[in-house]
Amino acid sequence: MGARDPHELVGVVMAELREMGLDSKVRVSHSGYALHLQPANSSKAVAVRYLCGIMGVSCNDVVYIGDSDTDVDVMDVVGYGVAVSNATDELKRRARIVLDKPSGRGVLIS
């Protein structure tokens, strides 16, 4: 299969999930890099809260670095939301800090 528009891919996967009767149980999104399938009641924010709870760490003490709309919900959970320079506009609006370099170069220590 060749490259496809991310919205088209999400639609194709959702159609398949509907045929299997799983469309209400699985959330489908695209980050610009990958197609994400996860339980409907799950999110990155839910995972961060859970991990903080089992590690005994306050979410306010967590730094989270993201680049896409799949990271937006986490910005409301952590104390320090960070976006790399090539992040989506929505993520940049939610982040406390926007780095001046893209992707991994934004956080690379040299």
Q: Over the chain, what is the mean pLDDT?
A: 86
Q: How far apart are the C-alpha atoms of 69 and 37, rounded to whole Å?
A: 14
pTM over 0.75: no
The structure tokens listed for 59 are 């979410």
Residue 3's pLDDT is: 53
* Sole residue written with tokens 């104390």: 79
Angle at 27 (CA atoms; ends 41, 23), nearest 5 degrees: 105
Q: List, for residues 57-74, the tens digit of each pLDDT value.
A: 999 999 999 998 889 999
Bridge partners, residue 64, by sequence: 81
> Helix, strand or coil for residue 19?
helix
Residue 94 β-bridge partners: none
Gap between the Cα atoms of 35 and 8, Å rounded: 11
